[in-house]
Chain A
Amino acid sequence: MKCWIGGLGVLGPGLPGWAASEAMLAGTQPWQMAEAAAAPPSILPPTERRRTGPTVRFALAAAAEATEREPDRGALETVFATSNGDGATIAGILDAMHTPDGAISPTLFHNSVHNAAAGYWHIAVGSTAPSVSLGGHDGTFAAGLLSAVTGVVARGRAVLLCAYDTPLPPPLAECRPTAFPFATAMVLRPAQVAGTRAALTLRYVAEPLAEPVPPTEGLDALAAGNPAARALPLLRALAARRETLIGLALDETAHLELQVTPC
């Protein structure tokens, strides 16, 4: 399958937006670890904005940046990929339910659905376009990319892919460690347009990915700390405008093979 990538967003440790991080991702400027933060999404009306937690804020920040130059971002179909969903909200409900007389807040409950960030995004941009939210554990970014590229190829429409995850609070954090928040977004299209950065060819391979020893320091080491950060090899290839072959694990038995060809 083949599509074209243009319009990128990222928000993670030491990566405060695509524009501010491009040189670091390309390796032409040094990267330094720094805590990532997401502001309340200004694209949402104030009543909705107040109801968003960090997870939705990270997702919407990346999606907003990736679509900054879109003439009509409401026209884009969307794929929202997250492993943990809004873990803080889910943990809050679990805590409340296991506290004597603990009551669940209605807002907390509707924010607990896995497609909460997608729901807020479509409200923010007034979009009635189709949207799918999915999960894939550590292979969540790969699953989202597979779904988004499949959508582009099967339906011939542009798709906004947004992948995001934030750490779970205790006690879930011990069972599912996530080292830091990370979000990335990209617009995938069926044809090349002005501003397209690269062509992406994607192939599903029903074999385990032969992974080299994972890097333990620097920017590349971030990939292991958050399912959405598994996008880093692709983001780095796009930033460097470098022709690259990337293996991206879906799980321990299958992977995607990505061929990135800069335009």
Chain B
Amino acid sequence: MPSLWPLAMTGRSTVTAFGAGTEALRRALHERRTGLAPCAFPGAPEGVWAGQVTGLEAAAPPPALSTFDCRNNRLAELALRSDDFEAAVAAARARHGADRIAVVVGTSTAGIEETERAYTRREPGADSLPGDFDYAHTHDLHALPRYLRQRLGLRGPAIAVSTACTSGARAVMEAAALIAAGVADAAVAGGVDSLCRLTLNGFASLELLSRGPCRPCAGDRDGIVIGEAAGLLLLERAEAAPRDALLLLGAGASSDGHHMSSPHPGGLGAVGAMRAALEAAGLGAAEIDYINLHGTGTRANDAMEDRAVHHLFGDSVPCSSTKGWTGHTLGASGAVEAVIAALCLEDGLVPGCLNVETPDPDFRAQVAAGANRAAPLRRVMSNSFGFGGSNCALILGRAS
């Protein structure tokens, strides 16, 4: 069987509530500064917060690709322009050929915000959507990978993964499989999700939205704050990459098979995904130095994840959620947090949950809160869980 891991991360880019580029995110992590604010998004429920990205008005697609214009693809466009990502892909294209680079990206919202605008733009009494609304290039899930593929001049397979809030992490696993199976030599992988009325009002209907900045792992946490983001990784076989490149050491996925929107209370699926990631990376639990939790800030998720982490790691591995900074960026979170894991490895950083002085007293895992800690990190795990009982864990590190 072909070897799936390790893969080298030879490019990366993020767009978050802190703006375009990973340096803005890095600074905010160190300064313990949140990107969350009272939600000003049109049509959002009253009194909720959001992690909104500003500057999208200047991120229109190039004229030749203007049919793809929508909030989701503008986030993707901004990510391409940041962190020298476009140049990194161009270099990979020169190395491998455009046919050999896949685009595998996750999204849960795609460009549905454009559809919401089309509904609002209808003439009074009209049922039909405006004639200029382009479903295929905006609302359709495939609009995102098609846009990235055309914009980057790539000719490998384009796949849109949509597994709710694991989409960004799950896309990385799919990209790894395409490379292992020999379909591609490199992949642009990750996730993009944009604010829209559907997710803001949908999570409100489930009474899962916090009334202030979210406080993952706090005893009195009261829900999520939705953010929007783009996280893109350029992945290649490790042997083709510089020796000091950060590596994806392994990944694992599982299903809960339990309930559509509530996690298995014992964390069965989460344990399965984390265990599968450790097996894929050939690592024991003691070899993980920090876990970036899914840590959404809901009662159920954080309690389940604490049980699952404690089951595998006891209280010996520090863990925390960084959603107090970015909000829950849904289908982008797995990719954005893979980049956060990379930053933690680079900077020797264990970020303590933001806006949380002490973790929930019922939690038994070693939750870092209150302040950031400096620690030499060799391997970091990043968790993502989602509706439909989807679970995924990634492990990042350096060559040992």
Contacts and interface: CB of A to CB of B under 8 A. Distances in A.
A110 B261 contact: yes
B177 A155 contact: yes
A98 B201 CA distance: 12
A167 B23 CA distance: 45
Contacts of B116: 94, 97-98
A109 B156 CA distance: 34
Nearest to B273: A130
Contact of A123 (B120, B158, B164, B259): B259
A53 B203 CA distance: 20
A251 B255 contact: no
B257 A125 contact: yes
A238 to B, nearest CB: 22
A153 interface: yes
Contacts of A206: 98-99, 155-156
A228 to B, nearest CB: 14
A119 B389 contact: yes
A110 B276 CA distance: 26
Contact of A113 (B142, B173, B268, B387): B387
B115 interface: yes
A147 B104 CA distance: 10
Interface in B159-193: 159-164, 170, 173-174, 176-178, 180-183
A128 B256 contact: yes
Contacts of B141: 83, 85, 114, 134-137
A1 B181 contact: yes
Contact of A137 (B1, B112, B140, B206): B140
Interface stretch (A22-30, A31-39, A99-107, A181-189): A99-107
B129 A115 contact: no
A106 B205 CA distance: 5
Contact of A97 (B135, B158, B162, B197): B197
Contacts of B205: 103-106, 109
Contact of B387 (A78, A115, A122): A115
Nearest to A95: B119
A40 B263 CA distance: 24
B360 to A, nearest CB: 25
Contacts of A254: 155, 157-158
Interface stretch (A5-13, A60-68, A169-177, A209-217): A169-177
Contact of B254 (A106, A130, A170, A176): A130
Given A114-B108, A204-B157, A154 B256 contact: no
A100 to B, nearest CB: 12
Contacts, number: 214
A48 B269 CA distance: 19
A118 B174 contact: no
Contacts of B120: 98
Query: Chain A contact residues (Cβ within 8 angstroms of B): what range?
Result: 35 or more
A77 to B, nearest CB: 9
A93 interface: yes
A132 B146 contact: no
B164 A137 contact: no
B370 interface: no
B253 interface: yes
Interface in A129-161: 129-137, 139-140, 143, 146-147, 149-151, 153-156
A122 B386 CA distance: 14
A225 to B, nearest CB: 16
Given A119-B388, A137-B142, A150 B178 contact: yes
Nearest to A105: B205
A149 B182 CA distance: 12
A135 B177 contact: no
Given A133-B163, A151-B177, A153-B2, A171 B146 contact: no
Interface in A216-257: 250-251, 253-254
B319 to A, nearest CB: 22
A132 B166 CA distance: 10
Nearest to A175: B135
B238 interface: no
A74 interface: yes
A104 to B, nearest CB: 4
A48 to B, nearest CB: 8
Given A115-B162, A251-B146, A130 B133 contact: no
B119 A94 contact: yes
B159 A146 contact: yes
A120 B260 contact: yes
A153 B181 CA distance: 6
B127 interface: yes
B4 interface: yes
A26 B337 CA distance: 50
Interface in B127-151: 127-129, 133, 135-136, 139-142, 146
B174 A132 contact: yes
Interface centre among B205, B261, B276 (most CB of A within 10 A): B205
A150 B183 contact: yes
B47 interface: no
Contacts of B260: 48, 51, 110-111, 116, 119-120, 123
B257 A123 contact: yes
Contacts of A94: 115-116, 119, 198
| Interchain residue pairs A-B with the least CB separation, the first 4 | A119-B388, A135-B141, A114-B162, A109-B202
5 contacts: A123-B389, A128-B256, A132-B161, A146-B157, A147-B159
Interface of B: 1-2, 4, 43, 98-99, 108, 112, 115-116, 119-120, 127-129, 133, 135-136, 139-142, 146, 155-164, 170, 173-174, 176-178, 180-183, 197-198, 201-206, 252-261, 268-269, 272, 276, 386-390
